[in-house]
C-alpha cells in the first residue's frame, strides 16, 4: 500500500509558531522532506529515526529541480508509511504546492494540507504593525518578485501594485525590487511611500529595516545580502 503525505506549513522559521497538528505529524512521520527555510530547530520535532531529506530551493544557490522533488516525494510515499512534506510559511503561498499535489494525484497517493503561519503575516507581526488599516489600507496584495528565470515577471499588474491605498507584500523580490520600484514610481506611486525590508523573519537573524520605496530601491541596488526577505510597502502603520 502507498503511504500518506502531510503537507505541513512550518511558518516563518520559529518553532513556537508551529500548529499543534504540524507538531503531531512531525512526531509521527517516517520521513520528512523539508525546505531550506524549514530546517534547524523545527526538525527537532521530527520522530527519532525518521529520514530527514533536504529538498529546499534558494535563489542563487544550487537547488534540486521541482520535478525531482515531486518524484522523490512520490517514491517515498509509494514505499509506505507517513510522509511529511515540510514547507516554509504556508505551503499554498508561493510554495510550489500545486506541482507536488498533481504528482501525488497521478500516482494515486492520498494527502492532507496543514496550514502554516504565512511569512507575510509573521513579518507584519515582527514589525509590530497590521497589514490593514481602517480607511487607509483596505486591501492587501501578495506578489512574487521573480519569475521562473529569476527576473521581474513581465505580466505583473503594475497598476494594482502602484495603488497607494493598498498594502503590498513582495515575496522573493530583493533582486528585482529596484526595477519594480522604478516602474511603480513612473506609474505614480510616490517614492516616499513607506517600505519595510523584513529579513530572516522568525529566526535569530531577523532584521527589520524601515525605509521608503525610493530609499529601499537605492539600498538594494547596491547590496542585497543573502538572507531570505519580504518587502512590504504602502500605507504602513508606524510601530
**65 within domain boundaries:** yes
Shared domain check, 74 and 127: no
The answer to whether residue 35 is catalytic is yes
Range(s) of the domain holding residue 10: 4-114
Residue 49 is assigned to a structural domain of this protein: yes
142/224 same-domain check: yes
207-212 β-sheet, strand order: 139-144, 166-171, 229-233, 194-199, 207-212
**Minimal CA–CA distance to 6: which of 17, 18, 22?**
22
Residues 28, 95, single domain; the answer is: yes
The per-residue pLDDT for range 11-62, each reduced to its tens digit, is 998 999 999 999 999 999 999 999 988 888 999 999 999 999 999 765 555 5
214 and 123 co-located in one domain:
yes
Q: What is the pLDDT of residues 218-231, one digit of tens each?
A: 999 999 888 999 99
What is the CATH classification number for the domain harbouring 84? 3.40.1010.10
Q: What is the distance between the alpha carbons of residues 204 and 59, in angstroms, rounded to a whole number?
A: 21
| Dihedral (CA of 69, 74, 77, 82) sign | positive
Beta carbons of 5 and 109 less than 8 angstroms apart: yes
Is residue 239 situated within a structural domain? no
Instruction: Given the residues 24, 30, 57, 227, select the one marked as catalytic.
Output: 57
**52 and 8 both lie in a single domain:** yes
Which among 90, 114, 138 is the end of a domain? 114
- Verify that 203 and 137 share a domain, yes or no: yes
Number of domains making up the chain: 2
- Is 98 a member of any domain? yes
Both 180 and 222 in a single domain? yes
pTM (two decimals): 0.89
Catalytic residue among 14, 35, 90, 163: 35
Q: In this structure, are 105 and 125 located in the same domain? A: no
Q: Answer whether 88's CB lies under 8 Å from 12's CB.
A: yes
For residue 27, indicate whether it is catalytic. no
pLDDT tens series, the chain, 239 aa? 679 999 999 999 899 999 999 999 999 999 999 998 888 899 999 999 999 999 976 555 556 788 999 999 999 999 999 999 999 999 999 988 999 999 999 999 999 999 999 999 999 999 999 998 887 888 999 999 887 777 788 888 999 999 989 999 999 999 999 999 999 999 999 999 999 999 999 888 999 999 999 999 999 999 988 899 999 999 986 65
Residue 187 falls inside a structural domain? yes
Q: How far apart are CA 64 and CA 70, in angstroms?
A: 10
Judge whether 67 lies within some domain. yes
Distances (CA, A) of 53 to 9, 30, 43: 16, 11, 11
Residue 238 covered by a domain: no
| 185 and 84 belong to one structural domain | no
Domain boundary among 114, 139, 160: 114
User: What is the per-residue burial (b if ≥16 Cβ within 10 Å, else e) of 152-167?
Assistant: beeebeeeebbbeebb
Last residue of a domain, one of 66, 97, 114: 114
CA distance 54 to 36: 7
Say which residue the cell 530609499 belongs to: 215
Pairing mode, strands 31-34 and 229-233? unpaired
- The per-residue pLDDT of the chain, averaged, comes to 91
Alpha helical stretches, state H, 108-156: 119-127
CATH code of residue 203: 3.30.950.10
Amino acid at each position: 500500500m502507498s503511504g500518506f503525505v502531510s503537507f505541513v506549513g512550518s511558518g516563518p522559521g520559529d518553532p513556537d509558531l508551529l500548529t499543534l497538528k504540524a507538531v503531531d505529524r512531525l512526531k509521527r512521520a517516517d520521513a520528512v522532506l523539508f525546505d531550506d527555510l524549514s530546517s534547524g530547530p523545527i526538525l527537532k520535532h521530527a520522530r527519532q529515526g525518521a529520514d530527514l531529506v533536504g529538498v529546499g530551493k534558494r535563489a542563487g544557490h544550487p537547488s534540486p529541480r521541482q520535478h525531482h522533488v515531486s518524484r522523490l516525494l512520490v517514491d517515498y510515499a509509494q514505499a509506505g508509511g507517513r510522509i511529511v512534506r515540510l514547507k516554509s510559511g504556508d505551503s499554498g503561498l508561493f510554495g510550489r504546492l500545486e506541482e507536488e499535489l498533481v504528482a501525488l494525484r497521478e500516482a494515486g497517493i492520498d494527502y492532507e494540507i496543514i496550514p502554516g503561519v504565512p511569512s507575510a503575516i509573521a513579518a507584519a507581526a515582527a514589525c509590530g504593525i497590521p497589514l490593514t488599516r481602517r480607511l487607509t489600507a483596505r486591501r492587501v496584495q501578495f506578489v512574487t518578485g521573480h519569475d521562473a528565470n529569476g527576473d521581474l515577471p513581465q505580466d505583473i499588474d503594475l497598476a494594482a501594485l502602484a495603488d497607494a491605498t493598498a498594502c503590498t507584500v513582495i515575496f522573493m523580490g530583493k533582486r528585482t525590487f529596484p526595477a519594480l520600484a522604478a516602474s511603480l514610481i513612473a506609474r505614480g506611486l510616490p517614492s516616499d511611500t513607506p517600505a519595510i525590508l523584513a529579513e530572516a523573519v522568525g529566526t535569530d537573524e531577523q532584521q527589520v529595516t524601515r525605509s521608503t520605496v525610493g530609499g529601499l530601491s537605492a539600498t538594494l541596488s547596491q547590496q542585497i545580502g543573502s538572507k531570505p526577505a519580504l518587502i512590504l510597502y504602502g500605507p504602513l502603520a508606524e510601530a
